[in-house]
């Protein structure tokens, strides 16, 4: 888990542009496996998974021990003003009279220079939380978080506060994002669902631009996207599909109206082949899909030796009407 950011992530900048309103908050929804919650992953926020279900406070001020930004949220921050001239300060020591303390001592003030200090008071911001389903026995729990401060894009200190609030949430929830201030915490879970864009096949350059819109892809990102583009194109799709869920990016091929092959090219280790209500199924998490609750409405092929051949065989079989 990334502890802090040195700069505001490019995905956050992209989301800020997409939010039309001036007022935003730092917030996101995160999926946690039950094992992680049982091990105390969010104990510092008062979130506990018990035999009765998930227990969480409505809001909490994060503990200073969670990290640099949590500490300054509670204890404030001393800023060294290196943009200003150094000031003269004094250290006082007791010096012996005539070289021997038997004769008594006197105070000597030793001058030294240092930059001025400025103390910024603690902001004591709360993190609010919400979970729509806290029943016991679930394999995954979705928790929405929000730093309880409305930020205005037009404010002079917007960049500073945005950076600090993102890091405050990152230190405590292991993730961060931005939302319109008008959205409720319960709305945040929508960002976990994949929204799809279906477009005619284009060039590999167009594909990379669409996949990484708002972000500069690494060489590895480009290589993976290019390789997947070539593979999905070999399936002779009607259209290519592009999806996003929060900051994750999905890419695939629409073979027929009821047959789609796709994967998460950032974090995935498997290709999903969905039939029938694929747009509805694609809203489910990976954990939900492999739980068995949705029967034989999809196939999952792990990225192991020969995985492309397996995917092609399943697609050909489905196109011929076989199961």
pLDDT (0 to 100) of residue 79 = 84
pLDDT (0 to 100) of residue 197 = 67
pLDDT (0 to 100) of residue 247 = 47
In the structure, what pLDDT confidence band is assigned to residue 288 with cuts at 50, 70 and 90?
A: low
Please say if the pLDDT value at position 291 is more than 70: no
- Checking 262-269 for CB contacts under 8 A at 24+ apart, the result is 263/228, 265/211, 265/221, 265/224, 265/225, 265/228, 266/221, 268/303, 269/302, 269/303
Higher pLDDT, 44 or 275: 44
Average pLDDT over residues 235-249: 75
pLDDT tens, position by position, 149-185: 999 999 999 999 999 999 999 999 988 989 999 988 8
Cβ neighbours, 10 Å, residue 210 = 16
Portion of the chain with pLDDT greater than 90, in percent: 36
306: exposed, middle or buried (Cβ count in 10 Å: 0-12, 13-18, 19+): exposed
CA 101 to centroid of chain Cα atoms: 63
Average pLDDT over residues 268-296: 66
Q: What does the radius of gyration of the chain's CA atoms come to, in whole angstroms?
A: 27
pLDDT tens, position by position, 121-133: 899 999 999 998 9
pLDDT (0 to 100) of residue 68 = 94
- Residues with Cβ within 8 Å of 199's Cβ and at least 6 positions away in sequence, in order, are 210, 239, 240, 241, 242
Please say if the pLDDT value at position 245 is more than 70: no
pLDDT (0 to 100) of residue 42 = 95
């Amino acid at each position: 888990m990334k502890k802090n950011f040195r700069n505001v992530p490019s995905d956050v900048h992209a989301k800020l542009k997409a939010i039309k309103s001036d007022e935003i908050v730092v917030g996101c929804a995160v999926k946690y496996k039950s094992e992680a919650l049982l091990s105390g992953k969010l104990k510092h926020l008062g979130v506990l998974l018990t035999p009765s279900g998930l227990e969480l406070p409505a809001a909490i001020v994060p503990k200073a021990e969670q990290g640099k930004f949590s500490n300054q949220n509670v204890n404030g921050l001393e800023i060294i003003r290196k943009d200003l001239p150094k000031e003269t300060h004094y250290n006082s020591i007791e010096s012996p009279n005539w070289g021997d303390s038997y004769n008594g001592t006197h105070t000597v003030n030793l001058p030294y220079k240092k930059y001025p200090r400025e103390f910024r008071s603690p902001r004591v911001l709360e993190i609010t939380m919400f979970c729509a389903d806290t029943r016991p026995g679930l394999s995954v729990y979705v928790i929405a978080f929000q730093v309880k401060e409305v930020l205005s894009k037009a404010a002079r200190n917007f960049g500073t506060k945005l950076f600090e609030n993102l890091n405050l949430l990152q230190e405590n929830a292991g993730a961060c994002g931005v939302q319109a201030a008008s959205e409720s915490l319960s709305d945040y879970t929508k960002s976990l669902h994949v929204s799809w864009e279906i477009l005619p096949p284009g060039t590999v350059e167009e594909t990379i631009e669409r996949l990484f819109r708002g972000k500069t892809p690494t060489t590895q990102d480009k290589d993976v996207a290019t390789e997947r583009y070539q593979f999905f194109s070999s399936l002779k799709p009607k259209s290519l599909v592009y999806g996003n869920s929060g900051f994750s990016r999905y890419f695939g091929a629409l073979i027929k109206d009821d047959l789609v092959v796709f994967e998460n090219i950032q974090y995935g280790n498997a290709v999903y082949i969905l039939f029938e209500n694929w747009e509805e199924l694609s809203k489910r998490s990976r954990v939900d899909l492999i739980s068995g609750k949705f029967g034989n409405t999809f196939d999952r092929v792990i990225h192991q030796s020969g995985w492309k051949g397996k995917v092609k065989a399943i697609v050909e079989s489905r196109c011929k009407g076989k199961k």
